[in-house]
Structure 1
């Protein structure tokens, strides 16, 4: 952390979206808190607690990786159940893949966020010569791990083979260099210093495992994305404040993604 669509259908969506969005936010927050209380860190990958390779969750039918809060939710589910895969399908997709969800299996709720423009708003913008205002919405759907399915045909998008351990380090170093942020080694603290726009890291030998060094470094580099010359997040919040907690969650939720991508 820093130190120093029809008209009626459209109308219905507009009416229900805010309530649904609030409910989903509360539901997702409760699930993350439950993971923490159970001793599982949903943004930390299950390298030791599950047999799956450390990678981003992906849809087994399309090969498309999940993103945002869904990564945390699906990683948490894999950690809790020890499934050997990061591949997921909806109930319908399991049928499309020639198989089915095993009877009695319970899926994991994930969310899809987007924006839409109601027809009335399009008409208003056109009549006034203004830009139409989009309304955000959040939609939930249920997915199942491929380990919860049976009879699936071959050729589905599979988990990527992990890089050999000796190959991860050079690629991670290349990614750190490509960030453009100066990383200074020394001392006993890991932090990003916004005023100087650099990351401070303890020596590699201070970490129990090499991957812990890179995971920590990526965590601090994610804080660096908030610098005014980049995304421009507020990095001035004091320790213990809401703003501090929000920024810490940003970094925690993304720190494992670079390593997952490499693997």
Structure 2
């Protein structure tokens, strides 16, 4: 019995990884890309899901999970909160409502290390990462919440989206070059290149392309230092493309630009990667969140005030031209 109890956390953690992975695979196999939602048919405006109490944005794979809930359940808001938070606000979750499971990471530090760190007067080091999950509800599943909690954020005024995007690109300080027939990031020379905006059928796609390539740039050796050594067509290359794809989608959503998939041919390689490793989508989404936060941190204070904040959540609380990584 003791052995069964000892093994249970590892088994539960593996099951949680697999549940998330299975859901993503099912979406991709159905021809739907979880980070490219059909926002045109959605009641909610494009944006990032956030905690209604702390106003902190959810991150990583939780963005995909909550976007799916917003679209599939027809919510008009991107605001979520826990059962306890609803009660604390004087409201309640309606009887019969089903919540959405989201995850967060914790680290288990053995008692020996905690004791040694206490003796030496330092913070414990190391630790074993593990996943925990908790349940959140849309504010639309609740009654009795304060009015300001239930109000959806105002829509981004038309005409401000593209200027904000251009301002962010400039603020990054990246070596960003416009011209040529293809879009790519060069790790060797540390620059991004995208074609002219008028080379795209829809000028908005130029911005989606730009943030995909800036997702690669954010992972450069002098910044987030991701592995970008994979040759074209390799698993490592596919993982980096998936990370940049998600980064572009997250940044676009934060700026009010509807994200789209860059190239349908990538679906096969993404499915292969995710099927072989049930933690691949979690790793990619986590790395993409870090890259998106890195890029969005360059926004001017005025732009940040006009949108939601970029902090991380607590438990309670496309393209006409295919991008590539150039050597």
Q: For the superposition of Structure 1 and Structure 2, which TM-score range results when normalised by the shorter chain?
A: 0.7 to 0.9
How does 1:11-26 map onto structure 2 within 5 Å? 16-26=8-18
Report how far residue 126 of structure 1 moved. Answer: 5.6
C-alpha deviations, 1:70-124, integer Å up to 9, x for none? 1111112222223211111222323333333333332211101122423322224
Residue in structure 2 matched with residue 102 of structure 1 by the alignment: 94
Residue in structure 2 matched with residue 147 of structure 1 by the alignment: 140
Separation in 2 of the partners of 1:45 and 1:120? Answer: 47
SS in 2 for 1:109: strand
Residue in structure 2 matched with residue 8 of structure 1 by the alignment: none
Residue in structure 1 matched with residue 180 of structure 2 by the alignment: 187
Structure 1 residues 81, 186: closer, same or farther in 2, change over 3 A? same
Separation in 2 of the partners of 1:181 and 1:36? Answer: 32
* CA root-mean-square deviation: 2.7
Q: 2:113 aligns with which of 113, 118, 121?
A: 121
SS in 2 for 1:256: helix
Separation in 2 of the partners of 1:129 and 1:51? Answer: 53
How does 1:1-263 map onto structure 2 within 5 Å? 16-125=8-117, 132-156=125-149, 158-263=151-256
8 Å contact kept, 2:35–2:246: yes
Gaps of 5+ in 1: 1-11
Structure 1 residues 188, 49: closer, same or farther in 2, change over 3 A? farther
Structure 1 residues 178, 147: closer, same or farther in 2, change over 3 A? same
Number of aligned positions between the proteins? 252
Under a length normalisation based on structure 2, what TM-score does the superposition of the two structures give? 0.69
C-alpha deviations, 1:230-262, integer Å up to 9, x for none? 222111212332212221221122212223333
Structure 1 residues 104, 37: closer, same or farther in 2, change over 3 A? farther
